[in-house]
Amino acid sequence: MEQQNGELSGKTVLVTGGGSGIGRAAAELLAEYGAQVCVADIHLDGAAETADRIVAAGGEALAVPCDLTKSGDVEEAVQSVVKKWGKLDGVFANGGIVGDLTSIEEMEPANWDQVMDTNLKGVFLTVKYSIPHLKRQGGSVVVTSSVSGNRVISQVGMSAYSTSKGALSIFAKMAALELAGYGIRVNTICPGGVKTNIQASIDEKPELEAVELPVQLPHGGMPLEHRPASPQQVAELVSFLLGNRSSHITGTDVYIDGGESLLRG
């Protein structure tokens, strides 16, 4: 999947969770391909660093703070794109959290709510406030789901995360059908393991040991390349789905996991 620099020239894109990991890699690649990128993140320092990297490389970028659980923050982030560049062509709804890894019995309701509010409600708000602007000329929305919300259910302790990511897949299909008449495409990407620093933010509770299953995975959990995806590989998929080459693709889950989920269900 190769694109030429400039393929996204003239397009404006909002990237949530753009301060690190997949979001940062996508924001930088979209800018490299010519897009004007608004980088939104709850951590403004991270968003600003991404935007600075884009500008230093000769691209156009804007950093905005955005708590995905707050409708006012999300609406303002969308408006920031339109105020600066006059339109919105694409959205990468990527921001999200894993939450605590624990058993359902021991999970705090507040943790469940935080994961759902960030991952599910956050995408709903991002899409909702983007629609009026995308309607003007059509566009593309890419939502970050996960193999953990579609194919892989063996990750004990991730019930909140997996439920939110599975729900996103259904939400994206509903949105794809509802918005097709306006020329707006909506797809989800479903990464498996990706080499980012997200593991450092996961709080694995001791109660998890009581419900863990003695699963012996096949030798070599990732058949293709035998390693996690790089953020840049995921970014290439995002840029493809936001660009014109995917103009007839909507309502689709695209897996990028090196075949991992074919071994681990």
Contact between 92 and 145 under an 8 Å Cβ cutoff? The reply is no
Whether the pLDDT of residue 207 is over 80: the answer is: no
Instruction: Assess whether 161 carries a catalytic annotation.
Output: yes
Helix axis angle, 122-134 relative to 71-85, nearest 10°? 30
Among residues 33, 129, 161, 255, the one annotated as catalytic is 161
| CATH of the domain spanning 12-263, picked from 3.40.1030.10, 3.40.50.720, 3.40.50.300, 3.20.20.120 | 3.40.50.720
Region 221-245 average pLDDT: 87
Q: Where are the domains of the chain?
A: 12-263
pLDDT in tens, 17-31: 999 999 999 999 999
Where b means 16+ CB within 10 Å and e means fewer, 210-226 reads eeeeeeeeeeebbeeee
Report DSSP letters for 100-152, one per residue: EE--TTT--HHHHHHHIIIIIIHHHHHHHHHHHHHTTT-EEEEEE--GGGTT-
Q: What is the dihedral of CA 111, 18, 123, 265, to 10 degrees?
A: -70
Q: Which has more confidence, 148 or 74?
A: 74
User: Is the pLDDT at 126 greater than 50, yes or no?
Assistant: yes
Average pLDDT over residues 100-107: 92
With 0-12 / 13-18 / 19 or more C-beta atoms within 10 angstroms meaning exposed / middle / buried, residue 248 is: exposed
User: Whose structure tokens read 């560049």?
Assistant: 85
pTM given for the model: 0.90
